[in-house]
Structure 1
Amino acid sequence: MAFLTDTTHLHITTWVIGIVLFLVAAFMAKESKGRKITHMVLRLFYILIVISGLTLFVEHSSYDAMLYGMKFLFGILTIGMMEMVLVRSKKQKPVTLFWALFAVFLFVTMFLGFKLPVGINFLA
C-alpha cells in the first residue's frame, strides 16, 4: 500500500477531480439526470478522498499530529459542505451560507495541506 503514502499525488488528484465534479454538478439543471449521475460519481470520489487522506494521516501524523488532525477535520467539513450545497439546492432551499462555509473550509484545508511537511512548499 506504499502507493497511497509515498507521495500526495493520488490524494491531490482525487480532491481536484472531486472539486471539478462538485462545481459541474452544482451548476447543472436541478432536475437533470446528468446532475444525479454526476452527484453519484462525486460521492464515490468523496470515499476516495477520505481513504487517500486517511492513509496519509496515519502515515505522516507523527510529524505534527494536531495540524494533521485539523486538516483531516477541515477536509471532512469541506466534503460535508459540498454535499449540503448539492442536496439543499436540489430541494430548492437557500445555499448561500453553505457556499460560504465551503469556500472557508476549502481554503483552510488547502492552506494546512500545503503548510504541512508532506505538502508542497511554494516559497522554496
Structure 2
Amino acid sequence: MNTHLHITSWVLALILLIVVLVLHKQGKAKGAKITHMIMRLDYLLILYSGGDLFGAYAKMGMSGSLLGEVIAKTIAGIWVIAAIEMIAVKTAKGKSTKGAWIQLVIAFIITLILGFTRLTFGLA
C-alpha cells in the first residue's frame, strides 16, 4: 500500500508551499521558481499514490456510501492540489491569495476528515 507515501508526499507539498512563500517574501524569485517546480513534481507523487489507494478501494468492491466518500475524497484531494498551485502562482504574480487560502483550508479539512476517520485503508 502507498498510504505512507501518500501522506508523506502531501506533507512535503505543504512544506514546499511554505518554502515558496518565504522565498517570494525574501525577494528570491529564482529560488522560489525552482522550489515551485519541485513542488509540481511532488504533485505527481500525490496523484500516483492517491490513484493507487483509489484502486485498492475499487478492488475491495466498494458499496454505496463508501464509494461516494472515496470519490468525494479524490475530488477534494485534487482541489487541494489546485488551491496550493493557485496560492503559489498568485503569490508569484503579486495578486491576492485570500480566496485560494480559503479554498485550501476547506478542501484540506474535507480530505483530512474523510482520509483519517472514514477511509483509513492501510494506515496501521
TM-score (norm. length: structure 1): 0.85
CA contact (8 A) 2:83 2:101 kept: yes
The gaps in structure 2 that reach 5 residues or longer are: none
CA contact (8 A) 2:13 2:42 kept: yes
User: CA separation in 2, counterparts of 1:89 and 1:22?
Assistant: 11
Greater helix share, structure number = 2
Alignment of 1:7-18 (within 5 A): 8-18=3-13
For the residue of structure 1 that corresponds to 2:23, the secondary structure is: coil
Post-superposition offset of 1:103: 1.0
Of the candidates 45, 56, 60, which is equivalent to residue 59 of structure 1? Answer: 56
CA contact (8 A) 2:86 2:100 kept: yes
**Which sits farther off after the overlay, 54-63 or 93-102?**
54-63
For the residue of structure 2 that corresponds to 1:118, the secondary structure is: coil
**Which sits farther off after the overlay, 73-82 or 25-34?**
25-34
User: CA separation in 2, counterparts of 1:83 and 1:11?
Assistant: 18
Distance 1:54 1:111, change over 3 A: same
Of the candidates 70, 74, 77, which is equivalent to residue 75 of structure 1? Answer: 77
Percentage identity across aligned positions? 36
Post-superposition offset of 1:22: 1.1
Q: Which runs of 4 or more aligned residues in structure 1 lie more than 6 Å from their structure 2 counterparts after TM superposition?
A: none
User: Does 2:115 correspond to 1:113?
Assistant: yes
Q: Deviations over 1:40-83 (max 9, x none)?
A: 00000001100100110011143421101100000000000000
The gaps in structure 1 that reach 5 residues or longer are: none
CA contact (8 A) 2:3 2:123 kept: no
**RCO higher in structure (CA 8 A, sep ≥6):** 2
For the residue of structure 2 that corresponds to 1:10, the secondary structure is: helix
Of the candidates 44, 47, 58, which is equivalent to residue 47 of structure 1? Answer: 44
User: CA separation in 1, counterparts of 2:69 and 2:49?
Assistant: 17
CA contact (8 A) 1:31 1:90 kept: no
Count of paired positions:
116
